[in-house]
Chains A and B, each alone.
Chain A
Amino acid sequence: MARYGMVFDLKRCIGCNACVVGCKQENSLPDGVFFTRTLSQEYGVYPTVNRVYIPTLCNHCEDAPCQKVCPSGATYTRPDGIVMVDPEKCIGCGSCAVACPYDQRTELKAESFKAGLFGTGEVTPFEKQGYVRFTPGMVTKCDFCSGRVDAGLDPACVVTCPTDARIFGDLDDPNSKASRLIRERGGRQPLPEKNTRPKVYYID
């Protein structure tokens, strides 16, 4: 069984947000909801200043605090390591959102489904065909496009990234591109001190 994870190549990422929009498209996310974001951080003082673009998503932690605190069992981990949220079981308590040290949990407010993406109260056919997957009030997050992964495809954000800054793969396979990059370029996990054992690595 694979153990899926993602590597972000900070040298490649140009902060274009194609991944962010591609994710909204693939997952029919309501306005203001993100499963992945690309942050930017400026550092230094003029003229020796720079900015880094940092893609983020759910880290699919091996010791996922969100899962530990979930009272309903809605949050679970698949055998391939993808941390999932079951919309049927989620009671919308928000414990996971408090527990996640990475701010990766979002509550889907009932209003956002009604306003529509254009805020006109008109819900487009695109939204209608997509929103059926959600239960309003549930607290959700990225699932590595689990359905695509089951079909042998990479997550949508990975496929569209113009610079190939997102590398998805089996971390247990030493020959996967992801494992190789982590090894060769010294992959680092986000907030290791939280002991969540993220399956997301950054290289630069």
Chain B
Amino acid sequence: MAANPKAVHNSIKPGRWVRSTCKMCLHSCTNLIHVTEDGIINTVEGDPTNPSNRGKLCPKGNSAIMRHYDPNRFKQPLKRTNPEKGPNVDPKWQPISWDEAFDIVAGKLKEALADDPRRIIPSLEDFQKMNIWVWPLAFGNFNFFQSGGTMCGGAYHPVNGYIHSAFAAANDAKYCNFWVNDGTGDGFSSHLHAAAQSYWVANARVDRGMKCVTVEPRLSISGAKSEEWVPIRPATDRHFALSLCHVMVSERWCDFAFLRRDTNAPYLVGPDGYFVRNAAGKVYVWDETVGQAKLWDDPTLGKLALEGSYTVEGKACKPAFQRFRDILAECSPEAMEKITTVPAATVRRLAKQLYDAAEIARDSKIEIDGRILPLRPAAYNYYRGAQGHKLGFQTNHAFKMVNFLLGNIDAPGGHMGVTLDDQWVEHGHIEPGENGMIKPTPHQLGPVPPFSWPPQTFHLMDYFPVGVHPPHLNLEVFMNPEKYGLEFRPDTMVVCHSNPLWAMQGPREKWFEFMRSMKFIVVSDIIPTETTQWADVILPSHDVFESWNMTMIEPPHTEGMCMRQPAVPPLYDTKSEEEIFTELADRLGVLDSYNQVLNFALGFVNKPELMLQPGIRYTDKEIARRKGLLWNGQDLDWYMEHGHAVTERRNDKWYRPWEGLRLHFYIEDMLKQRDDLRAKMDAAGVPYRDTWAWDDYQPLPTTRLDPVHEEPPEYDLYGIFFKDIQLNFGESLSNPWIQDIVYRDPVHIAFMLNPQTAAKKGLKATDILKVESPYGRIYGRLGLSEGWHPDTLGVSNSLSRAKGKLGGVKHAGGHFNDLLPYDLRNTDGVTGQPETVCKLRITRLDDWPQFLKDGGSVYDLVDEIALPGKGRKH
């Protein structure tokens, strides 16, 4: 770019440009960093050569400089001198040398490790550095205290693992013409690569006329940009999806050919729910053409039955599809409307629109790279809000069912599996499983602990064989350790870029007790957070402009490694996470085993020349280099020139990568997992096995209500929380530029309620409210908007910070997570997904409670800059 010595605009001042990758959310838009001749970073722009974000950045990506120059950054290792710990207690930090810091930390960790490795509880959340995330596996520790997983997609990821053998999912913006978003901001404001995906989707909408429908309790950005907003009562999205399926099946608006050919929908299911097999374990289907049972791979198969009842091998049985039909009998739109409040007529119309848009009747085809593929340009997309429920597995499965009926799974225009990190270009994610089906891969984030009694993990991961770790159960077990048979107590916490005290559900007060029970807490981070305040030692890490990395993180339409390189030398006496954690591994005597864990986790075992060797401490740069080499054989100099190796997803891996195999319409594995766990619990005599959530294990989604609907009737509203693109993933609110936009936006400065509901309760805008659930309470100001379902109170994530003296963020009257349960009753027995909706009652207060009047709350700021009549600027 042209430089002008007299320039007043930052990007054209004399300087140099460095190619790198954003880390303001977990995704990886690549960027260009402009460093002035004085060595100051003064501009971060999107990288126009990246086919994903194509020169664009979201507001967070645009605000990265403010993180780098944050005066609150940790500038050297720190040691607490105040033994008292609390959310507002000054740790009285004392600067120490790295040597002293490592001596203290390694000493404490060694002591715990020598006594019982399970005493260590890790909270390692850097999603761009899985190499740090897996660090505890070096000493066989499976404890888990980070929110990644259940507060994002605890059930979502395992179900994607079953259906697509992939981590995430997205609609195919390249060809989709009818896009349903349920409880997600994909393509508009949040989730996968927000900056990139909103470009792809805007083009589809405006240039190609793609129609969008958004199903959500609030008029989100997605809702506002859609042709239609369908308001829905919270935690009933599964029932909505099942009502769509009901109409599609009863009207025959389904891709039956797809279901017969590409799924296990025709496999015969016996009375016990298992497939009917012959002695050799082969599954039967019913051949309608000749009216007899045959094995699934019989070369003489005619048309496979999807419906009807049969008797095979002496067993009464039905095709899996018929089993689903039986469930759908009770899912008429009229019946489901009572639960969802979505008018039956709307459901019927949407089912028809989806069916028509999917071009099933004319069986549209498209040729891509010489393959003739079914074109199914209509799809149902969903994420956090819709999936985050007690019956999360069934809920995710129900959404997939709409896509199954549309025949659009991994089809052009349809609903696609999105891999997390392909590791190397040729790496395919599909493997054949048994009986002609794909191999399900529910554990998308790596190995999980084996069954054990007494439990080996504090959060009971031993008993969630297909789950993502349920970190909220740390609190449940902490409150009742004897009940769960725990033989150990974690008391040594290791944190890296994780803020569990902000991100975890359950009342803060109880989590504070949990933190107080720790004998030692070490935190590696760059700025103060709710969690850093509890640390005994702070190990400050480099930030994104000072370190190396190589990453691919679930990009929807693209693949390939994105490189981070230092744009400037470190501002302070900090180290890379790699340096910190390999130093610790070395001092703990587990360096060799850590290197071996990394060989597996990062895929180096697949190219032996890249494998990490025992006894060597690898730097961030060397790990990045090897990841780049693994991807495409290119060394760092190539990446430094190109910045990234991102291309559009290879069509053979993106479209129907499982061609020739069948997909799991019916998830028989649920029953196997249930029975296997049950047998192990019985054999071990686990005392709470009879009350375990066995009913949650279902091969098909059901209409069972989530327990949130059964809270006492005085809790007459539903509570949901939300983020938009300014707050998407991770910490943003300590950033002054983000504060400057968020606290000027009406939806982010008040508890949002529909005016009808407010009028019924005699409430008006700006009233001060106490909001209580059966689990906790928060305070805030009321805002009114017609864009809310009348049963719902909405709380922006911007109103959920817990201030600390050094916290850098403002208190907002309590945290929405305080309102959520952390118990087993509200946890999916299959995946560990907790309920993220609650029931509420609200009371008007005459004044703020004293702790908020003491000053420094979000509301002071809001009053100053955004309240009507007080100089509102936005």
In the bound assembly, the distance between CA atoms of A40 and B231 in angstroms comes to: 20
Closest to B188 in A: A14
Indicate whether B873 reaches chain A with its CB closer than 8 angstroms.
yes
Report the interface size for chain A: residues with CB under 8 A from the other chain. Answer: 61
> 9 A–B contact pairs at CB < 8 A?
A9-B206, A16-B189, A18-B195, A25-B62, A25-B65, A27-B8, A120-B72, A148-B12, A161-B56
Which of B40-48, B573-581, B638-646 makes up part of the contact surface?
A: B40-48
Kindly state whether residue B376 has any CB partner on chain A within 8 Å: no
CB distance from A51 to the nearest CB of B (A): 4
Contact in complex: A46, B756 (CB < 8 Å): yes
Does A190 sit within 8 A of B, measured CB to CB? no
Contacts of B44 in A (CB 8 A): 25
Smallest Cβ distance from A14 to chain B, in angstroms? 5
Q: Please measure, in the bound complex, the distance between the C-alpha atom of A42 and the C-alpha atom of B752, giving whole angstroms.
A: 14
| Cross-chain contact of A27 among B9, B63, B787 (Cβ < 8 A) | B9
Partner of A24, one of B9, B188, B737, B785: B737
Q: Which of B180-194 contact A (CB under 8 A)?
A: 188-189, 194
A162 and B36 in contact (CB under 8 A), knowing A12-B206, A21-B62, A156-B11? Answer: no
| Minimum C-beta distance from B316 to chain A (A) | 46
Interface pair A32/B873, CB less than 8 Å apart: yes
**CA distance in complex: A70, B738 (Å):** 33
Find out whether the CB atom of A51 lies under 8 angstroms from the CB atom of B202: no
Asked whether A125 is an interface residue with its Cβ less than 8 Å from the other chain, the reply is yes
Most buried by A among B9, B66, B188, B225: B9
Q: Are A151 and B4 in contact (CB-based, < 8 A)? A: yes
Of B1, B72, B195, which one neighbours A118 at CB under 8 angstroms? Answer: B72
| CB within 8 Å of A: which B646-663 residues | none
The complex places the Cα of A71 from the Cα of B203 at a distance, in Å, of 46
- Which residues of A are found within 8 Å of B436, using beta-carbon distances? none
Of the listed stretches B100-108, B131-139, B739-747, name the one at the interface; the rest are far from the partner chain. Answer: B739-747
- 1/0 per position for A39-58, CB-CB distance to B under 8 A? 11010111101111100000
- B9–A145 CB distance below 8 A: yes
> Quick one: which of B8, B36, B59, B746 contacts A18, CB cutoff 8 A?
B59
Q: A26-B9, A40-B745, A126-B41 are in contact. Are A50 and B219 (CB under 8 A)?
A: yes
Q: Is the CB–CB distance between A15 and B4 below 8 Å?
A: no
Chain A residues with CB below 8 A from B726, complex form: 16-17
Question: What residues on A are CB-neighbors of B786 within 8 Å?
Answer: 42, 44-46, 49
The 8 A CB mask of B28-65 against A (1 = contact, 0 = none) is 00000000101011111110000001011111011101
Q: Answer whether residue A113 sits at the interface, using C-beta atoms and an 8 A cutoff.
A: no
Residues 197-240 (chain B) with a chain A CB within 8 angstroms: 198-199, 202-203, 205-206, 219, 221, 224-225, 229, 231
Scan A123-143; emit 1 where CB is below 8 A from any B CB, else 0.
011101110010000000000
Q: Are A49 and B219 in contact (CB under 8 A)?
A: yes
Q: Given A147-B7, A156-B9, A160-B62: A49 and B195 within 8 A (CB)? A: no
Q: A164 in the interface, Cβ–Cβ < 8 Å?
A: yes
The 5 closest A-B pairs by CB, nearest first: A163-B202, A133-B8, A151-B2, A124-B69, A21-B62
The number of chain B residues touching the other chain, given as a range, is 35 or more
For residue B865, CB closer than 8 A to chain A, the reply is yes
B252 in the interface (beta carbon within 8 A): no
Given known contacts A18-B59, A40-B746, A156-B11, A129 and B737 CB-to-CB distance under 8 angstroms:
no
A31 at the interface (CB under 8 A from B): yes
Tally the A-B contacts, defined by beta carbons under 8 Å. 193
Question: Which of B8, B741, B787 makes the CB contact (< 8 A) with A51?
Answer: B787
Point out which of B194, B202, B205 has the most chain A C-beta atoms below 10 A from its C-beta. B202
CA distance A153 to B34 in the complex (A): 15
Q: Is the CB of A14 within 8 A of B225?
A: yes
* A21:B36 contact, CB within 8 angstroms: no
Do A18 and B57 have beta carbons less than 8 Å apart? yes
Given A129-B42, A153-B12, A160-B62, is A14 in contact with B198 using a C-beta cutoff of 8 Å? yes
| CB proximity to A under 8 Å, residues B7-25 | 7-13
Q: Known: A14-B198, A163-B198. Is A125-B69 also a contact (CB below 8 A)?
A: yes
Closest-CB distance, B55 to chain A (whole angstroms): 6
- How far is A176 from B43 in the complex, measured between Cα atoms in Å? 28
> Once the chains bind, are B62 and A18 in contact (CB under 8 Å)?
yes
B9 touches A118 (CB 8 A): no
Residues in B with CB closer than 8 Å to A51 are 219, 224, 787
Asked if B736 is at the interface (CB within 8 A of a chain A CB), the reply is yes
A interface residues with partner B (beta carbon < 8 Å): 9, 11-12, 14-18, 20-22, 24-28, 31-32, 34, 37, 39-40, 42, 44-47, 49-53, 116-120, 122, 124-126, 128-130, 133, 145-148, 150-153, 156, 159-165
Contacts A53-B224, A160-B56 given: A148-B873 contact, CB under 8 Å? no
Give the distance to chain B from A32, nearest Cβ to Cβ, in Å.
7
On whether the beta carbons of B62 and A124 are closer than 8 Å, the reply is no
Bound state CA distance, A120 and B736, in angstroms?
11
Query: Does chain A have a CB within 8 A of B338?
Result: no
Question: Which one of A46, A117, A124, A156 has the greatest number of beta carbons of chain B within 10 Å?
Answer: A46
Query: Which of B8, B198, B229, B874 lies in contact with A16, CB distance below 8 A?
Result: B198
Chain B 701-744: CB-based contact to A (< 8 A → 1; otherwise 0): 00000000000000000000000111000000000111011000
Which residues on B sit within 8 Å (CB–CB) of A161?
A: 56
* Contact between chains at A147 and B46 (CB < 8 Å): no
A9 CA to B206 CA, complexed, in Å: 10
B71 an interface residue at 8 Å Cβ cutoff?
Answer: yes
Give complex CA distance A7, B189 in Å: 22
What 1/0 flags go to B830-874 for Cβ under 8 Å of A?
Answer: 000000000000000000000000000000000001000000011
Q: Which residues of B contact A164 (CB under 8 A)?
A: 199, 202-203
- Bound state CA distance, A111 and B69, in angstroms? 20
Q: How far is the CA of A45 from the CA of B754 in the complex (A)?
A: 10
B741 touches A20 (CB 8 A): yes
How far, in whole Å, are A15 and B787 apart by their CA atoms in the complex? Answer: 16
Report which of A22, A50, A125, A156 forms a contact with B40, defined as CB distance below 8 A.
A125
Whether the pair A147, B874 counts as a contact (CB closer than 8 A) is no
Q: B58 — which chain A residues lie within 8 A by C-beta?
A: 16, 18, 162
Cα-based distance from A175 to B69 in the complex (angstroms): 43
Given contacts A44-B786, A50-B219, 12 further A-B contacts (CB under 8 A): A20-B741, A21-B59, A21-B741, A25-B10, A31-B736, A32-B865, A118-B70, A120-B72, A146-B9, A147-B9, A156-B11, A162-B196
Contact of A162 with B199 in the complex, beta carbons under 8 Å: yes
Residues from chain B with Cβ under 8 Å of A152 in the complex: 2
Q: How far is the CB of B215 from chain A (nearest CB, A)?
A: 12
Q: Is the CB of A165 within 8 A of B62?
A: no
Quick one: which of B63, B224, B229, B756 contacts A25, CB cutoff 8 A?
B63
Say whether B788 faces chain A, with CB atoms less than 8 Å apart.
yes
Question: In the docked arrangement, what's the CA distance between A195 and B38, Å?
Answer: 46
A162 to B745, CA, bound (A): 19
Contacting residues, chain A, for B407 (C-beta < 8 A): none
Contact A162 B740 (CB under 8 A): no
A120 to B806, CA, bound (A): 12
CA distance A172 to B27 in the complex (A): 41
B637 to chain A, nearest CB (A): 28
- Docked CA distance A26–B219 (Å): 32
Which A residues are in CB contact (< 8 Å) with B741?
Answer: 17, 20-21
For B63, list chain A residues within 8 Å (CB): 21, 25
CB distance from B218 to the nearest CB of A (A): 11
